Amino acid sequence: MISAGDFRNGITIELDNSVYQIIEFQHVKPGKGAAFVRTKLKDIKNGGVVERTFRPTEKCPQAHIDRKDMQYLYKDGELYTFMDTETYDQVQLSDDLVGDALKFVKENEICKVCSHNGSAFSIEPPLFVELDITDTEPGFKGDTATGASKPATVETGAQVMVPLFVETGDKIKIDTRTGEYLSRV
């Protein structure tokens, strides 16, 4: 159990038969009346955000989230298959559960599968990936004063905006959180 006075960003709590992660919290001490804690909570199952206030002495059970490194094997229809690299157990997750988390991830890459009480609810891809450019328009020499960019398709099929000097066949580094081009490799 964790009291509302001990809330911090990133802590997960169980509340109303759901699991929430604290996005923001603020201890408020009004001039008149009792102090309270104002929070923004994100439902980890469906991604919805709610605002709620707590008394500082109120207690909530803290939820334990398991983050396990698993290897992404392949996609079969609407199911993604992951393998535990220690026990070789395989887990299949549905398309709606995975969402866009794997749009920059190739097969056989390691991802974190997040679960609560044995049921997986999200995928955390690696922070940075290196991918080959499969298709992009040719750049023009000398046209770099404006810092212009052009669309490019990477080997996973995702679209990325890259500088004009990047060509088809180049290997680039991408930040998976924002989908931004970082550098050539």
Q: How far is Cα of residue 126 from the mean position of the Cα atoms in its chain?
A: 9
Using DSSP, state whether 98 is helix, strand or coil: helix
pLDDT at 64: 85
Reported as a single tens digit per residue, the pLDDT across 120-140 is 878 888 889 999 999 888 866
Distance, CA of 67 to CA of 62 (rounded, Å): 16
Helix (H) or strand (E) holding 42: strand 36-43
Distance, CA of 32 to CA of 144 (rounded, Å): 60
65 close to 116: Cβ distance less than 8 angstroms: yes
pLDDT at 140: 65
pLDDT at 38: 92
Q: Which residues pair with 154 in a beta bridge?
A: 133
* Exposure on the CB side of residue 171, measured as CA atoms within 13 A: 5
**Positions of the chain with pLDDT under 70:** 139-146
Domains located in the chain, CATH noted: 2-60 (2.30.30.30), 66-124 (2.40.50.140), 128-184 (2.40.50.140)
Its pTM stands at 0.70
pLDDT at 75: 87
Reported as a single tens digit per residue, the pLDDT across 97-121 is 787 888 888 888 999 888 888 878 7
For residue 100, give the DSSP letter: T
Helix (H) or strand (E) holding 129: strand 128-136
Distance, CA of 122 to CA of 32 (rounded, Å): 43
pLDDT at 142: 61
For residue 62, give the DSSP letter: B
